[in-house]
Amino acid sequence: MCRSASFRVLPDRVLYSRIGDSHEQIVKEHQLRVTASYDFDVLGVPVEFVPPDGDYTLPFDRWEFHLDATVARADLPSWYSARRARQQCLDAMPDWWSYHAVDAGFHMCDTDYTLIAHQGSPMICVTGGAILVCGKSRPNIIQSGGDVLVRGKASPRITQNAGDIHIRGRGRPIIIQYGGKVHAYDDSRPKIVQSGGQVYTFDDSQPTITQSAGQVFTYDDSRPKIVKSGGQVYTFGENHPKIVQSGGLVLTCDNSYPSIIQSGGEVRTFDNSLPSVTQSGGEVHVNGKNQPKIKRVSK
């Protein structure tokens, strides 16, 4: 997916999509003629006008102007002026924003669509395409496909059946997950109730996960808190998850050192992992030369 906002700059105007935000979608929507050799006079120069650090709450005049990565400067037509093109895109931004930004009401995000939820509490059904949730917005999202990107301090409520969710910055979404994938990065702290699908935790993220099925994979310095009655948890890197386990499977790998309170289920340790297990039930299987700390207590 191209970065929002995407434009095609022609000698006398700039074009954008009212639906999505790829340069291909602009060609399709405006019915531009595609020839064997690329013709800038017909298809325009593909450019992107994007906010620094993905902060879509910034004023348009602080956004950054870039050539699309597919275009070499040596190939640009003689009529093209970067300064003029930037001003043309800046002038077109209010119209572009009116088609893509949502802050209230009900909206559909389908294949090739791009939406930005920057404030308010809109209701959004995502079956395809991509939606960016930013600012302090609190949308209610039902997802069966596509991509949801959460940034900043946004706190959406998401029911996920399929598709991908990416959480960056200090995002605080609440997610009911039946399928699909959730990726938590940076200092994000999502709350996830998982009965299917996969969750991946990276960086310094600190998700809280209630797991009855599905899979959780923890990496880097992430510190998830997991209450599990089923499913699988895999710990990698040097992360330190805290797990309360009454069922399911935990596999500890690399140099991870999870803290586990176990009343049921199974723990398997690998590599140099050093889990600390307080056990009143369940099973612990040690593989290799690692030496988990196991404290057995009565129920």
**The pTM is what?**
0.91
Please tell me the predicted confidence (pLDDT) of residue 183.
Answer: 98
| The dihedral sign for the CA sequence 76, 82, 87, 92 | positive
| pLDDT at residue 160 is higher than 90 | yes
| pLDDT at residue 35 is higher than 80 | no
CB atoms closer than 10 angstroms to residue 234: 18
Give the tokens for residue 51.
């906010």
Please tell me the predicted confidence (pLDDT) of residue 36.
Answer: 62
Please tell me the predicted confidence (pLDDT) of residue 1.
Answer: 45
**Whole-number average pLDDT of the chain:** 93
- What 3-state DSSP class applies to 165? strand
- The predicted-structure confidence for 46-66, as pLDDT tens digits, reads as follows 999 999 988 898 999 999 999
- What 3-state DSSP class applies to 26? helix
Please tell me the predicted confidence (pLDDT) of residue 120.
Answer: 95
For the chain, where are the alpha helices, taking DSSP H only?
23-29, 40-43, 82-100
| pLDDT at residue 2 is higher than 80 | no
Mean pLDDT within 159-180:
96
- The predicted-structure confidence for 95-135, as pLDDT tens digits, reads as follows 999 999 999 999 999 998 999 999 999 999 999 999 999 99
Please tell me the predicted confidence (pLDDT) of residue 78.
Answer: 94
Cis before 5 (ω within 30) = yes
CB atoms closer than 10 angstroms to residue 294: 16
What is the pLDDT confidence band of residue 21, given thresholds at 50, 70 and 90?
Answer: confident
- The predicted-structure confidence for 5-14, as pLDDT tens digits, reads as follows 999 999 999 9
- What 3-state DSSP class applies to 23? helix
Q: How far is CA 237 from CA 53, 252, 258, 273, 284, in A?
A: 27, 10, 11, 9, 20
Please tell me the predicted confidence (pLDDT) of residue 3.
Answer: 73
DSSP letters, 68-105, are -TT--GGG--TT--HHHHHHHHHHHHHHHHHHHEE-SS
Query: How large a percentage of the chain has pLDDT more than 70?
Result: 98
The C-alpha atoms of residue 244 and residue 210 are separated, in whole angstroms, by 10
Mean pLDDT within 24-40:
86
Residue with tokens 């006398």: 12
What is the pLDDT confidence band of residue 225, given thresholds at 50, 70 and 90?
Answer: very high
Q: How far is CA 218 from CA 77, 169, 193, 277, in A?
A: 49, 18, 16, 17
Mean pLDDT within 205-224:
96
The C-alpha atoms of residue 125 and residue 139 are separated, in whole angstroms, by 10
Q: Check residue 42 and report its DSSP letter.
A: H
| pLDDT at residue 227 is higher than 60 | yes
| pLDDT at residue 251 is higher than 70 | yes
Residue with tokens 């706190």: 155
CB atoms closer than 10 angstroms to residue 127: 17
